[in-house]
């Protein structure tokens, strides 16, 4: 606009927006940031894996009120290096073995920056054509890598917890006679108790989803597990029959491939038999374990999953995509859509967009309207490493776990306490002549002592009521020497722990 037309339109108001950071400043700081990231990713182990930081220290190091005026980016980045980095647990550290270890790989980091630059909101196809279509494409690539049939349609959510919530919301639509979408649950005498089943080793997100859907914590019935900590299918059958006899309406079963505590694998094919016979929705939680299925020799972990109604796996967990990126697949997208689609006038799509084929608007498959462009990082990670490169990394992780487990097994004072099919080893110090209570105390002390070195981080769980230490390999930079160090530190700590 010329100054003249501007003056006419705005009554003399100048044409200068306060605007963004100067483009040349951005370039300079951008280079500095990338340099910092490159150094950081070259050696994240330069920092202690867990921060040596007191509770409240990060907050106390920063002003309690926002800056009134602009601050130079140099000062902001200096505080990032001085306060934020040392106050962070180093999840990208090769010796981070706690929970499920993850990786924000380099291509994923670049993709996050590019996604922020585009800043598209993938609520409608027309609001983000490339993001919508890339999401469909990348999830179809991943589906092929996992060996799932073509009928599985994928959508990206933030987390497995959301994915499971959405899957169970779709499961509720299997009971149209109950009119839950329209009439809800509250104040109704004509709706029976509804039940969702999962094993006692299932992730807490299953119960949280059921709570959120208004079915109550008692809407979940947990099923006993067998020696391998996998769901006991006859116990499931008995529970369903018992519930039906008591007037409770079974709705869905959540099977887990790779439980959080011990990476146990529920017998999905046999659970699918039950679900088909009983007309129950089968959701598979493969948040962690699904990634292993990209290996031909591990594809069996998803056996039976082709019969599931839905399945979740997290590329942010074990496929080197930075948080957050969860892939939710379903063979019944129409039920997922029925659970969530509600289109206000301002979001209706002009017929012209649709043309001949159906337009997919991602907002119809979850509670979020606005959606980040998460497919970009999945696409960039897949292209940068290729299927072969991803397989090599997952395979190496499985081999590291196997190797570690063999050291533990070879030492008579120690034991591996769950099958090692993935990259997780559950182990404990179990010297002869020591009672179970004391063994728990010993292992807790070993864990604390090993973690206190700042060199490695391990977490724990309880299996059959006993404390066990977990070594979860998942970082793209983890090598044999890192795993060997855990074993050396653990044995050293066990010597100290002995009284
Ligand atoms: C990690 C995990 C989850 C939760 O994943 P989020 O993406 O953090 O919600 C769910 N189920 C299993 C089996 C997991 O291992």
Nearest atom (ligand 1) to Cα of 159: 7
Mean pLDDT of 10-18: 83
Assign 1 a pLDDT band (cuts: 50, 70, 90): very low
Mutate which of 100, 160, 322 for ligand 1 pocket (most atoms within 8 A of beta carbon): 160
Distance 280 CA to ligand 1 centre (A): 22
DSSP 88: S
Best mutation site among 158, 165, 205 for ligand 1 pocket (most ligand atoms within 8 Å of CB): 205
Report residue 8's pLDDT band, with 50, 70 and 90 as the boundaries: low
Region 59-86: mean pLDDT is 96
* Banded pLDDT at 364 (limits 50, 70, 90): confident
Q: How far is the CA of 325 from the centre of ligand 1 (A)?
A: 11
Asked if 430 contacts 415 with a C-beta cutoff of 8 angstroms, the reply is: yes
DSSP secondary structure of 430-487: --TT--HHHHHHHHHHHHHHHHHTSS-B-EEEEETTEEEEEEE---TT--HHHHHHHH
State in Å: Cα 67 to ligand 1 middle: 37
Residues 291 and 139 sit within 8 Å (Cβ to Cβ): no
- Ligand 1 binding pocket mutation candidate from 268, 301, 317 (most atoms within 8 A of CB): 317
Between 337 and 256, the more confident residue is 256
* pLDDT of residue 112 exceeding 50: yes
Tell which one of 167, 225, 314, 326 to mutate to probe ligand 1, the residue whose CB is within 8 A of the most ligand atoms: 314
Cα of 203 vs centre of ligand 1, distance in Å, is 7
User: Is the pLDDT score of 7 beyond 60?
Assistant: no
Minimum-distance ligand 1 atom for the alpha carbon of 158: 7
Q: Please report the pLDDT score of residue 341 as a whole number.
A: 85
From 127, 125, 155, select the one nearest 140 (Cα to Cα).
155
Q: At what angle do helices 375-410 and 480-497 cross, to 10 degrees?
A: 50
**Beta strand spans in 187-333 (E):** 194-199, 220-223, 249-256, 281-285, 310-313, 326-330
Q: How far is the CA of 317 from the centre of ligand 1 (A)?
A: 8
Query: pLDDT tens digits, residue range 301-338?
Result: 999 999 999 999 999 999 999 999 999 999 999 999 99
- In this prediction, residue 45 carries a pLDDT of 86
Contact 178, 336 (CB under 8 A): no
- Reported as a pLDDT band with limits 50, 70 and 90, residue 499 is very low
> Which pLDDT belongs to residue 150?
96
Q: What is the pLDDT of residue 187?
A: 92
Arithmetic mean of pLDDT, 105-126: 96
Banded pLDDT at 156 (limits 50, 70, 90): very high
pLDDT at 342: 83
Judge whether residue 157 has pLDDT over 90.
yes
Across the range 345-357, mean pLDDT stands at 66
Distance 288 CA to ligand 1 centre (A): 7
Mean pLDDT lowest among 48-52, 95-99, 144-148, 379-383: 48-52
Query: Ligand 1, closest atom to CA 203?
Result: 11
Distance 28 CA to ligand 1 centre (A): 39
Q: Is 10 helix (H, G, I), strand (E, B) or coil?
A: helix
Grouping H, G, I as helix, E, B as strand and the rest as coil, residue 323 is coil
pLDDT of residue 354: 58
**Atom number, ligand 1, closest to the C-alpha of residue 259:** 13
Q: Which atom of ligand 1 is nearest to the CA of 286?
A: 13
pLDDT at 370 over 50: yes
CA of 270 to the centre of ligand 1 (A): 23
Choose between 124 and 469: higher pLDDT.
469
Query: By C-alpha distance, which of 91, 135, 102 is closest to 328?
Result: 135
Asked if residue 161 has pLDDT above 70, the reply is yes
Of the listed ranges 237-251, 348-362, 485-499, the one predicted with least confidence? 348-362
Average pLDDT over residues 245-271: 97
- Residue with CA closest to ligand 1 atom 1: 287
Centre of ligand 1 to C-alpha 160, Å, is 5
Q: Average pLDDT in the 251-273 region?
A: 98
pLDDT of residue 2: 47
Where b means 16+ CB within 10 Å and e means fewer, 448-468 reads ebbbebebbbbbbbebeeebb
Question: Could you please report the per-residue DSSP string of 96-155?
Answer: B-SSS-----HHHHHHHHHHHHH---TTSTTT-HHHHHHHHHHHHHHHHHHT--TT-EEE
Report the alpha-carbon distance of residue 103 to residue 124 in Å, rounded: 30
Summarised one tens digit per residue, pLDDT across range 382-426 is: 999 999 999 999 999 999 999 999 999 999 999 999 999 999 999
Mean pLDDT, the chain, as a whole number?
A: 94
Ligand 1 atom at minimal distance to the Cα of residue 256: 13
Q: Among 4, 224, 27, 193, which Cα is nearest to 117's?
A: 27
How much distance in Å is there from the Cα of 286 to the middle of ligand 1? 8
Closest CA to 112 of 387, 314, 321: 321
Q: What is the mean pLDDT of residues 413-440?
A: 96
pTM for the model: 0.94
Output the ligand 1 site: residues, CB below 6 A: 100, 159-161, 203, 205, 256, 258-260, 285, 287-288, 314, 326
């Amino acid at each position: 606009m010329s100054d003249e037309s501007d003056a006419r339109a705005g009554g003399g108001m100048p044409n200068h927006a306060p605007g963004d950071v100067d483009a040349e400043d951005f370039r300079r700081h951008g280079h500095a940031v990338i340099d910092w990231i490159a150094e950081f990713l070259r050696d994240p182990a330069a920092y202690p894996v867990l921060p040596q930081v007191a509770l409240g220290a990060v907050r106390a190091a920063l002003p309690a009120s926002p800056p009134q005026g602009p601050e130079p980016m140099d000062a902001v980045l200096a505080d990032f290096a001085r306060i934020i980095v040392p106050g962070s647990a180093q999840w990208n550290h090769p010796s981070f073995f706690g929970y499920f270890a993850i990786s924000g790989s380099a291509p994923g980091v670049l993709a996050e920056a590019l996604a922020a630059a585009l800043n598209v909101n993938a609520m409608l196809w027309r609001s983000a054509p490339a993001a919508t279509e890339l999401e469909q494409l990348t999830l179809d690539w991943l589906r092929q890598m996992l060996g799932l049939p073509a009928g599985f349609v994928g959508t990206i959510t933030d987390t497995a917890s959301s994915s499971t919530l959405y899957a169970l919301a779709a499961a509720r639509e299997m009971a149209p006679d109950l009119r839950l979408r329209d009439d809800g649950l509250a104040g109704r005498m004509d709706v029976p108790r509804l039940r969702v089943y999962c094993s006692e080793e299932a992730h807490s997100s299953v119960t949280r989803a059921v709570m959120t859907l208004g079915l109550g914590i008692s809407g979940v019935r947990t099923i006993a597990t067998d020696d391998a900590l996998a769901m006991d299918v006859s116990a499931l059958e008995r529970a369903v029959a018992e519930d039906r006899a008591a007037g409770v309406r079974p709705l869905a079963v959540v099977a887990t491939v790779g439980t959080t505590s011990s990476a146990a694998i529920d017998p999905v094919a046999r659970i699918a038999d039950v679900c088909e016979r009983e007309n129950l929705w089968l959701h598979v939680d493969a948040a962690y374990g699904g990634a292993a299925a990209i290996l031909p020799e591990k594809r069996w972990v998803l056996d039976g999953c082709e019969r599931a109604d839905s399945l979740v796996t997290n590329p942010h967990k074990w496929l080197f995509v930075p948080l957050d990126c969860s892939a939710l697949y379903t063979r019944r997208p129409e039920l997922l859509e029925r659970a969530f689609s509600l289109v206000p006038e301002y979001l209706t799509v002009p017929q012209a967009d649709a043309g001949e084929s159906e337009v997919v608007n991602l907002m119809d498959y979850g509670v979020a309207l606005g959606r980040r462009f998460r497919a970009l990082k999945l696409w960039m990670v897949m292209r940068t490493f290729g299927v072969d490169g991803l397989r090599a990394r997952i395979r190496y992780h499985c081999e590291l776990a196997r190797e570690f487990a063999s050291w533990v097994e070879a030492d008579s004072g120690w034991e591996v306490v769950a099958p090692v099919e993935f990259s997780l080893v559950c182990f404990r110090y179990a010297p002869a002549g020591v009672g179970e209570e004391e063994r728990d105390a010993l292992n807790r002390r070993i864990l604390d002592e090993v973690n206190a070195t700042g060199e490695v981080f391990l977490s724990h769980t309880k299996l059959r009521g006993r404390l066990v230490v977990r070594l979860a390999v998942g970082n793209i930079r983890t090598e044999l020497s890192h795993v060997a160090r855990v074993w050396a530190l653990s044995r050293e700590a066990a010597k100290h722990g002995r009284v």
